[in-house]
């Protein structure tokens, strides 16, 4: 049986991440044997080598994680976690909003809506440390930023407002939405870090 990648399917950019991971797995040469599956319960998480926590509304996703009894299964998940936008907020150890129970998987403090409201959303080409080729075209939608990181967290990218991409072991957290473009380099880098 091939590798299985899960996408937390409680709210947010679920189908976009599924498509991006299929494309990334194909480019890594394991598309024919891999599956990408929606995760809504701890049973769905079983057998996954990696999990994406997509962008969406972080307070809603946090509430649904609790409702579906997924907080501890995700905290104890042995695979890598690819967290984007709201996902970056959720994997942090410290969040500026008391409505969110952070998963504490990446040692960082996160400012939830660092760029303001929806109308302040923007796109930018940003250099990502260790990513070969052109800068990454990043789509920021009501994006967070990391305002402080622990010593074991590697900063991959910054903008004027703060840190927007980090790695910590097999985990990657991004303030932007890489699944909204055709560039799968970050998905591929994450899969490689997970040994996929």
The helix-helix angle for 185-193 and 14-27 (nearest 10°) equals 70
What value does the mean pLDDT of the chain take?
A: 92
Q: Which two tokens stand for residue 97?
A: 């909003």
Q: How confident is the model at residue 142 (pLDDT cuts 50, 70, 90)?
A: confident
State the catalytic residue, choosing from 85, 167, 171, 194: 85
**pTM as predicted:** 0.94
Tokens of 156: 């991959």
Going along the chain from its start, the domains and CATH numbers come out as: 4-193 (3.40.50.880)
Helix (H) or strand (E) holding 37: strand 35-39
Which pLDDT belongs to residue 120? 65
pLDDT digits (tens, 9 = 90+) for 43-84: 999 999 999 999 889 999 999 999 999 999 999 999 999 999
**Catalytic residue at 137?**
no
| Cβ contact 193:80 at 8 Å | yes
Structure confidence at residue 157 (pLDDT) = 97
What's residue 29's pLDDT?
86
Buried b (16+ CB within 10 A) or exposed e, 91-113: bbbebeeeebebbebbbbbbbbb
Task: Look at residue 1 and tell me whether its pLDDT is greater than 90.
Answer: no
Which residue of the set 16, 167, 179, 188 is catalytic?
A: 179
17 is catalytic: no
Q: Which two tokens stand for residue 8?
A: 């937390």
The yes-or-no answer on residue 194 being catalytic is no
HEC states along 53-115?
ECCCCHHHHHHHHHHCCCHHHHHCCCCEEEEECHHHHHHEEEECCCCCCCCCCEEEEEECCCC
């Amino acid at each position: 049986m091939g590798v299985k990648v899960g996408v937390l399917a409680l709210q947010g950019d679920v189908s976009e991440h599924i498509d991006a991971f299929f494309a990334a797995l194909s480019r890594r040469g394991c598309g024919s044997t891999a599956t990408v599956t929606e995760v809504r319960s701890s049973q769905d998480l079983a057998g996954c080598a990696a999990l994406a926590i997509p962008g969406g509304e972080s307070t809603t996703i946090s509430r649904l994680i609790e409702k579906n009894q997924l907080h501890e299964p995700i905290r104890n998940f042995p695979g890598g976690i690819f967290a984007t936008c709201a996902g970056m907020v959720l994997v942090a150890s410290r969040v500026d909003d008391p409505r969110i129970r952070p998963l504490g998987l990446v040692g960082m403090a996160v400012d939830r809506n660092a760029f303001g409201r929806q109308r302040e959303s923007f796109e930018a080409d940003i250099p990502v440390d260790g990513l070969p080729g052109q800068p990454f075209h990043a789509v920021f939608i009501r994006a967070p930023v990391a305002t402080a990181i622990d010593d074991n967290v590697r900063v991959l990218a910054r903008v004027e407002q703060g840190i927007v991409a980090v790695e910590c072991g097999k985990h990657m957290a991004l303030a932007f939405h890489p699944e909204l473009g055709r560039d799968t380099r970050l998905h591929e880098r994450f899969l490689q870090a997970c040994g996929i």
